[in-house]
Chains A and B, each alone.
Chain A
């Protein structure tokens, strides 16, 4: 009796701790139990089916265990030489329990098959108005390419509410995983392979995502965002992105209008010298790093890790390796050359930027909206 009581009391205490500690809040930024789209909803529903089934089994089987342990405990006044009945088994019960287990699993199998079939390709009923995004994972950021629109952005996906988004997933280096819990379960980005998934946001909002396959030193910092907006706003955003910056990034200083402050002009100069080779703005520049077109309009920087504000941006450019260890922006990007060689495109560690330089670049970047 004491044992059972103790088990029950400790479980009760434990459970209350947990319940109190979060008040079982389940709608956190990345909660899979707060689905906002058809794929995540099906997956959450499937989860609840398994949860209810296993809770039922827990009560039945766990209950049987607790009952047996209480009912058949050795009592103080038992005759020690008296043996309990030495039963060896009961084939009927055993077979019955096997069939019962199989039946339980059929319950799980149904939403399983539904889910697999729903996600393997875009179901017909969602095809209207669907858009396509090509996702490429890099250590430790995301490139989002809209092939139907001819624009590219990074780390912050913008999608229309109520329309399906077809995602083609590729990796440029190691294995990553695209996980936007409120909209869909994750699918991996495998080098040498293209994987397909689709999702849809049924409500506007800012959705949080994170890389979910260990990909190196800064795996924990590889987050991203998806902003779901009404159709017109989406079109506007696309148009803005296509249009690019007010003035092309490689416009010489002499042709720049006087509206721009000295700091911004200086920032653009520093940018051209140090950043252009890896980053693209309005279709001009390099492709080793995230596309920065309309960068000023993004909510976050460093792949979803920090808010996009002046202080963070300054810190990010000044010492990216302290924020994301191993950061290629600091150490340089190693690239294989044909013939099996290796060259490194220099990083900011070799750039020797002064604080003024960095402030200038920050102010320039903030004009890109």
Chain B
């Protein structure tokens, strides 16, 4: 089902017959195929982006329910709403879900949909690989949530050895977790190779790197962080899996292994991961603020450089998660000072965002409110981060609710608020419909109040002695009121989030139509229709300025964009493909087979065969994928 009105001719290079997939069993899907098949086999970055977003919001709800259960349990001291084991599963799954299944895919949704538009391209460098990233993410997400039906992991989202080892965690939970994370890693890596190639190679003519929107820059830096950081956790998980099932001793202290190695490897990944989570958010805010201040981003080069600097330095601070582990004086001092250093580029961004607002003409639309809220709460999270960077202070704060407060301020107050800003900002482009401003504002304030009520008391809980990851607490510790208020706040926050998701669905169905550029914005995505045509741009424009769309409206004559070349044979669009889906399914089977190895899966104990068949499916899919080629068809836009 194609958007827009164009004539299309299916034009395989030299061949008349459409290709066939799966050993000729089915036809390679063409335009006009059934909608379900269209969405399952699409290679269109916009559809893929929408699916990433849909799944992300689904898992935001799942993770949110896990959080609400946690808070409900902590509402009263010595509560028995859930057992210790279930509570430990809840916080493990909540962390894993929110990071890998909610925030990262929501980031990916926006990378997919908008980065390509912002560089004036028609799609990513490798459209089928893009689809594979999506479906393997789904495979990993399904696998880890299946664990709820057998045994969910209860070792924390950071799975410290030796607790996550086979001696102390003999059940399947850890294996579900390990295999799912490996699959999710594959998804992220594949997407990042794609985005790096796309941004470096497929920009519109004249779109120099220093003319790129900040969001696109952040996509690039985030992708580099992913490809360099994920290998560390891949190896850590591999080593843990070997320790658990093949008798190795990587983290076995009784054999000379060092449990601290797990922590090093995990945090060498884990710290860049938090920048992977926040840089895209900063990119979104850097788009929204200029639009609704009606002036350019203040200090663009410095914002780009500080983003790159944060990414780079992000690899040099990992042991600040380990100050209490006994690193030795030299390492402790080094990591402490480096961590303080990284506060500087972060602060720079905040100053520059305020500089953007300064002297502008600010309209308080919903996306703007979320971005302003982001600045406020990210700043507060940054302050507690500075506190953590001081080792003596961290000795008291580490592993307490103070840390929980810190990272939720930067992850919810930061990432989630920025992502919701992006949702409200870009929904008109995605859906072609306005989101109701009044409803949006109610959602913002509900979330703002709920969030602060939920998480501010945690600073106090932490400093007065409440450790993390404890399923209950004694009633005479002086923590009762703050915990109770925190739970109330969490419920309010949950309502706000739920209301936003409902509003999104409502808008898609019943929203009021909007035009191409409803916000009078600045960057290239607003030069397309709402929603954009399949091919994005009838002609790829020639770029002569940063914020090209703004320059076209208000800029100097020499800054206006060139019309761009028409495509002589029509616009080439890559064909849909079954193989990204089948390869992901194979990957899922490998994961499931390995999790259930030596146990039985629903009464069937040939799970080794399952893993092997899964591997064969992956290999066969890759071969078929390579041999079918992108192929494609041509579209001829009616008007330019």
Contact = CB atoms under 8 A, between A and B. Distances in A.
Given A65-B357, A112-B390, A193-B326, 11 more contacts: A17-B485, A22-B481, A28-B465, A28-B479, A31-B463, A65-B372, A84-B294, A86-B296, A94-B351, A174-B168, A217-B84
B332 to A, nearest CB: 6
Interface in A98-143: 98, 101-102, 105, 108-109, 111-120, 139
A88 B298 contact: yes
B464 A26 contact: yes
B392 A97 contact: no
A199 to B, nearest CB: 11
A186 B324 contact: yes
A68 interface: yes
A206 interface: no
B260 A190 contact: yes
Given A21-B482, A29-B465, A187-B326, A85 B393 contact: no
Contacts of B301: 89
A28 B363 contact: no
Contacts of A65: 354, 357, 372, 375-376, 379
Nearest to A10: B449
The 6 closest A-B pairs by CB, nearest first: A185-B395, A30-B465, A115-B392, A192-B253, A28-B478, A220-B470
Nearest to B348: A98
A33 B463 contact: yes
8 contacts: A10-B448, A32-B463, A65-B357, A68-B362, A69-B362, A98-B344, A101-B348, A181-B465
Contacts of B445: 6, 10
A68 B358 contact: yes
B69 interface: no
Interface of A: 3, 6, 10, 14, 17-18, 21-22, 24-26, 28-33, 40, 42-44, 46-47, 49-51, 53-54, 57-58, 61-62, 64-65, 68-69, 72-74, 78, 83-90, 93-94, 97-98, 101-102, 105, 108-109, 111-120, 139, 173-175, 177, 179, 181, 184-188, 190-193, 195-196, 208, 210-220, 305, 325-326, 334, 336
A54 B386 contact: yes
A188 B350 CA distance: 35
Interface in B336-354: 336-337, 340-341, 343-344, 347-348, 350-352, 354
Contacts of A47: 387, 390, 392-393, 396-397, 463
Nearest to B389: A108
A42 to B, nearest CB: 6
Given A32-B463, A108-B340, A184 B333 contact: no
A193 to B, nearest CB: 6
B295 A336 contact: no
Contact of A30 (B258, B453, B477): B477
Interface in B260-281: 260
Contacts of B357: 65, 68-69, 72
A115 B379 contact: no
A32 B343 CA distance: 25
B554 interface: yes
Contacts of A105: 340-341, 343-344, 386
A49 B350 CA distance: 22
Nearest to B380: A58
Of residues A64, A74, A191, which shows the largest number of chain B Cβ atoms within 10 Å of its Cβ? Answer: A191
A343 B428 CA distance: 65
Contact of A112 (B348, B352, B391): B391
B470 A219 contact: yes
A89 B361 contact: no
Interface string B357-395: 111111110000000100110011001101101111111
A99 B342 CA distance: 13
Of residues A31, A58, A118, which shows the largest number of chain B Cβ atoms within 10 Å of its Cβ? Answer: A31
